[in-house]
Structure 1
């Protein structure tokens, strides 16, 4: 989840390193730092944001032509300067802290055997200045270093258990940076001037610097020098990786007229959904890749693996897949799936859902499913170059664009769009979709951008709700059927960025326990489309009112639910049938956003969280 940038150049590389960190800050913002070679190792670290780090390096006149930088999401060790990356190794000895450092290193991931390695290194005389697992790697590399950093890194990583992406350099080889990855993403950027080369967690970090990108594979080690680089694979054999032109526009990370990235991304949803559906003229399995027709014909069930918001999109898709395509569907939390006994079925289509395509738990769950003989795999993903896309047979790229706000919004709605297309394609391949039904569904999907724009126009009404929520500490969300996962997603959004404790329930479960929590101080948000469960939902709402609870209802126009004492209604522009979840989630996103504004929290960078969860 941390962000890494590294470079070898003939020019002062610090501005590029810091700019790269600013673009990667969504990956972690507990601390940040930069280290460069300038007649030895120089370093600046901070527990403030990257903007403050920039001020620090300018005041301290830190400059260099070789360097690494890092923005951190804390795992081992609290957010503190001594735990911030880059970490130095000073070599063994009682006077280590007073001697100049030799090895500088940054790391994304978790080293599971760090305690064992720490003990061995302490026995050799190494002193530790932090509580991090990362410092273990820097000392380990130092302990095997014999004049060749590339060889030292290769020797060290074979002793590491866990996940890592690292960038490291040594003061004794000032124009060389070595990177390695296993379980965490790392890319190589091939420079376009002066023979410079780069490392980064994401191509966006290098936008405007280079668009020539090499995606390192699992187990790769890369050696960057001026005008050249070389790569070895997990067996340490030389290998050639393709150089791809990647247009990672820096403008995608600009706020424009918006106050926060989350607000920008909420309002980008009509365009994001339109882009995701662009070119879909008819429902054909080949939308998901070559060979999809054969795969769809052969499978008899679906297993969805995902985490967080993506898991809720999968829960929504279960209703579609079973209701429209008539295919038995199981949705699993990816972080739990591989740790229990399951009954594998080789005729299952394993569907992973992920915004980044690098989510560690989801990748591990995919590999576990494959190890059980389920090799028919498909991903719904926002990043075409990600590990998930490379490891699945089939894929649908959602084209949401860069999402920087930690609380996912447009990635969720575009995932739903992709999953609905998958439902229709599977239904068609099984002979369960008539031409009339296909035409009606396509018409509804093409109207989605306009329908989403109409929902966004409800923002002023949502703001009035947010003023009520701002002084609350608890909230309930209710939904039934297809909209129960939307209630779950709404509760997640509220808790993520406002720090209000929020829970969601299938409304029929209210009387089985949660009703005990209902008082006038517990707002109850209800998703109320005009579907077959509406009258049941109205009864659940009456249960809340009878206990003095206050209802906040997102109701379709023809539901005959009116505002009154203890009930606040926002009327949705239109009923949207099976695609209604894409519309009803938008006011819930806006509610979380404006409540966070009213409470003064950090909307885009909520405490303890980060984007792209690349650790388990």
Structure 2
């Protein structure tokens, strides 16, 4: 959830690091900081945005070729300067000068025990974080070699971490380690000589424009950066051959993080959806299992059920896919919240296809759920993911890369709709292998999918009408979302978006459940958003809507043009451009995204960085 950038060079790399933090700020924005080796240790920290840190760095003339930087999402300790990274250890007998500087992503589960042991040795703690424990632990183990001290410290840590560390006695050296949190090594160049400087970061995008030569560190790896050279070892100290940790060329375009003419990244990403869907479907001329990787046909032939594991927005895309998989592919499907699945006793079926869904491919709970499934004997694994180089893609046998592009806004939009597109392709591929998809049906579905970018553009044109709705919602404290069938998960996603960024309490229900409790909440102060496509459940849904109106409730309805639902007193209707059959959820979710965005805008909240949330959830 936090962002790390660190490096060693013969030049001043502080500008490189703070620019990297600006690109990673969406991963954590409660506080930020940078520490450098400048004879001794020096740092700047802020509880404001990275832009303020930049001013502080310039004012204090902080510069060095050895530096670490961090942008934080608070887990242990409130967002405050004394809790901000980097953390220093001043040793048992503080002399005013820092000995160890450290930044950390993740959570250390045994920090209380380690803290007590270190306090008994005389270490004084200045923060409430679990991170400071690691800095003191490394200091306690230091005997002239910071890499050896890190190695010893890692052996005592329980939990998830990505670390970058340096010591005052070893200039031009930064060491790092990862377990459960992502960390990459960037091989840089100086004056055209590759390998003259090296970096570590939590995301390759932080190093865009600096280097495209990336080594993806694996679970348990440690890395040692020095001028002109680096080593990667495992926790036991065994060095890896280059073939085992190869250098890959990764084009992490910094331009993807530019706002352009938009006010917020969320708005930009909503309007990128026609392009994103087009990229997701690029090259799909026919339906074939090999869209999901070599060997997919034999896997699809061997399975008799599907289990989807995901969190948050990705979970709702899985809930939508369940309707497709069971109605079109005729295969039994379960969807589970990843953080629940990994801790409950389940009955494994070796013929189940485990499908994980994740934007980043680094979501801690989903990765842990995948590994739990594998430990139970599930050998058939597939991921729908936006990041081809992520841990999830590396650990699953099959994958479909959605190619949504970089998503900066915390509230996911284009990642969700491209996940749905990938899941619909999976549905068609499984239906084909199972012999329940005719050539004519395949052609019709592909034609509809290719038309999605155009259809989405027409939906985005509804924005002025949605802005009018948002003016009403900005005055409300609560909202109810209703849907039926495969649009119920879309109602759930709409409610999630509204509560995430506008802080309005919002809940979603299957419309048929109104009478079983939620109807008690309906008043004129409780707007009820209804997703109303022209499908087989429309008449049932109309009855549910009348139940709301009879109690004085105010309806906001997204209706297909041929539903004969008209605006009236207490009934606000926006007509969708066209009915889109099985793919209707991809269109109906877009107005709900826009409603959340414009309501948040009207309320003046921080749209891209909502309070208490972060983008890439790499901690439990």
Aligned to 2:475: 471
* Cα distance in 2, alignment partners of residues 73 and 401 from structure 1: 23
1:590 equivalent in alignment to 2:594: yes
1:102 equivalent in alignment to 2:99: yes
* Cα distance in 1, alignment partners of residues 382 and 143 from structure 2: 45
Aligned to 1:82: 82
Aligned to 1:236: 237
After TM superposition, the structure 1 = structure 2 runs for residues 82-231 of structure 1, keeping only pairs within 5 Å, are 82-93=82-93, 96=94, 98-193=95-190, 195-231=196-232
- Kept after mapping to 1: 8 A contact 2:154/2:235: no
C-alpha distance after superposition, 1:209-265 (max 9, x if no partner)? 000000000000000001100010243211131000000010000000000000000
- Kept after mapping to 1: 8 A contact 2:31/2:80: yes
Q: Which portions of structure 1, spanning 4 or more consecutive aligned residues, are displaced by more than 4 angstroms?
A: none
Aligned to 2:4: 4
- Kept after mapping to 2: 8 A contact 1:276/1:397: yes
Match of 2:298, SS state, is helix
Match of 1:611, SS state, is coil
- Kept after mapping to 2: 8 A contact 1:218/1:234: no
Aligned to 1:451: 455
* Cα distance in 1, alignment partners of residues 189 and 488 from structure 2: 51
Match of 2:190, SS state, is coil
1:257 equivalent in alignment to 2:261: yes
C-alpha distance after superposition, 1:295-343 (max 9, x if no partner)? 0000000000000000000000000000000000000000110111111
Give the Å deviation of 1:192: 1.7
* Cα distance in 1, alignment partners of residues 207 and 280 from structure 2: 25
C-alpha distance after superposition, 1:372-407 (max 9, x if no partner)? 001100000000000000000000000000000000
* Cα distance in 1, alignment partners of residues 53 and 339 from structure 2: 34
- Kept after mapping to 2: 8 A contact 1:379/1:395: yes
C-alpha distance after superposition, 1:536-564 (max 9, x if no partner)? 00000000000000000000000000000
- Kept after mapping to 1: 8 A contact 2:155/2:235: no
Aligned to 1:565: 569
Aligned to 2:363: 359
Give the Å deviation of 1:489: 0.1
* Cα distance in 2, alignment partners of residues 482 and 66 from structure 1: 53
- Residue range with higher mean Cα deviation, 98-107 or 398-407: 98-107
1:45 equivalent in alignment to 2:45: yes
1:64 equivalent in alignment to 2:64: yes
Give the Å deviation of 1:437: 0.3
Give the Å deviation of 1:99: 1.7
CA RMSD of aligned residues (A): 0.6
* Cα distance in 2, alignment partners of residues 364 and 568 from structure 1: 44
Aligned to 1:548: 552
- Kept after mapping to 1: 8 A contact 2:4/2:105: yes
* Cα distance in 2, alignment partners of residues 137 and 175 from structure 1: 21
C-alpha distance after superposition, 1:485-515 (max 9, x if no partner)? 0000000000000000000000000110000
After TM superposition, the structure 1 = structure 2 runs for residues 593-608 of structure 1, keeping only pairs within 5 Å, are 593-608=597-612
* Cα distance in 2, alignment partners of residues 235 and 431 from structure 1: 51
* Cα distance in 1, alignment partners of residues 272 and 594 from structure 2: 13
What TM-score comes out, normalization by structure 2 length? 0.98
Match of 1:607, SS state, is coil
Match of 2:563, SS state, is coil
After TM superposition, the structure 1 = structure 2 runs for residues 265-276 of structure 1, keeping only pairs within 5 Å, are 265-276=269-280
After TM superposition, the structure 1 = structure 2 runs for residues 128-527 of structure 1, keeping only pairs within 5 Å, are 128-193=125-190, 195-240=196-241, 241-527=245-531
C-alpha distance after superposition, 1:95-148 (max 9, x if no partner)? x2x520010000000000000000000011100000000000000000001111
Give the Å deviation of 1:171: 1.0
- Kept after mapping to 2: 8 A contact 1:69/1:106: yes
* Cα distance in 2, alignment partners of residues 224 and 516 from structure 1: 62
Match of 1:196, SS state, is strand
Which of 539, 544, 559 is the equivalent residue of 1:535?
539
